[in-house]
A and B are shown apart, each in its own frame.
Chain A
Amino acid sequence: KQEVTQIPAALSVPEGENLVLNCSFTDSAIYNLQWFRQDPGKGLTSLLLIQSSQREQTSGRLNASLDKSSGRSTLYIAASQPGDSATYLCAVASGGYNKLIFGAGTRLAVHP
């Protein structure tokens, strides 16, 4: 059974810092991995999707890497801003129907 773990559970940093959020999964047989952002009481915003054949994806200040063999992904946020404050969720697509299994998330607070 696929399990996804995210570390740390919460993070509070001053504005401008570079951050690394970690995600690990138990079954390396995945189709893809996605990073999402969720603001309080809101739905999900897809940030980056890494196909199973890819090693990393970049979008603006965000960079996500994927190491399937070790079951790990990292989300790197450069030059953090208060607007980055949110919960970041990692999810892997595996099994029948490529269903997404989510981690518990990392709650990020960036203070001015």
Chain B
Amino acid sequence: GAVVSQHPSRVICKSGTSVKIECRSLDFQATTMFWYRQFPKQSLMLMATSNEGSKATYEQGVEKDKFLINHASLTLSTLTVTSAHPEDSSFYICSARRAFTSGGDYEQYFGPGTRLTVT
């Protein structure tokens, strides 16, 4: 259990276009989903946190008008990179959080990532 999928796994787009990435929790309901970005040979940087039915909370320095996040259901969150530019080329990874049944601590389950290349 606790599988998270992302679609597409790889996308190439032209500068100026928009790209949508989907993140789905396949066998559990996710109270919260997170979006990360990873540049080559660097670690994951949290971009934003989204809760179902409410606006996403963006980390400092992340443009909310450029990276649109929608969390319409407990199993689906989408990240749309608007007016993409070559510097947006990166590996985007989502995670979904499910509450433990006891203890109150939470574990995040990660998707396989989406490689975005903007030409």
Q: Chain A residues with Cβ under 8 A from B93's Cβ?
A: 43-44
A interface residue count range (under 10 / 10 to 19 / 20 to 34 / 35 or more): 20 to 34
CB pair B49–A102 under 8 Å, yes or no, is no
CB pair A97–B49 under 8 Å, yes or no, is yes
Question: B104 — nearest CB in chain A belongs to which residue?
Answer: A31
CB pair B107–A32 under 8 Å, yes or no, is yes
Q: Chain B residues with Cβ under 8 A from A34's Cβ?
A: 107-108
Interface residues of B in 13-65 (CB under 8 A from A): 32, 34, 42-46, 49, 51, 57
Report if A93 contacts B (CB, 8 A): yes
Q: Chain B residues with Cβ under 8 A from A42's Cβ?
A: 112-113
CB pair A89–B43 under 8 Å, yes or no, is yes
Report if B87 contacts A (CB, 8 A): no
Q: Chain A residues with Cβ under 8 A from B45's Cβ?
A: 102
Give 8 A-B contacts (CB < 8 Å), ordered by A residue: A36-B110, A46-B110, A93-B108, A96-B57, A97-B57, A100-B34, A100-B108, A105-B43
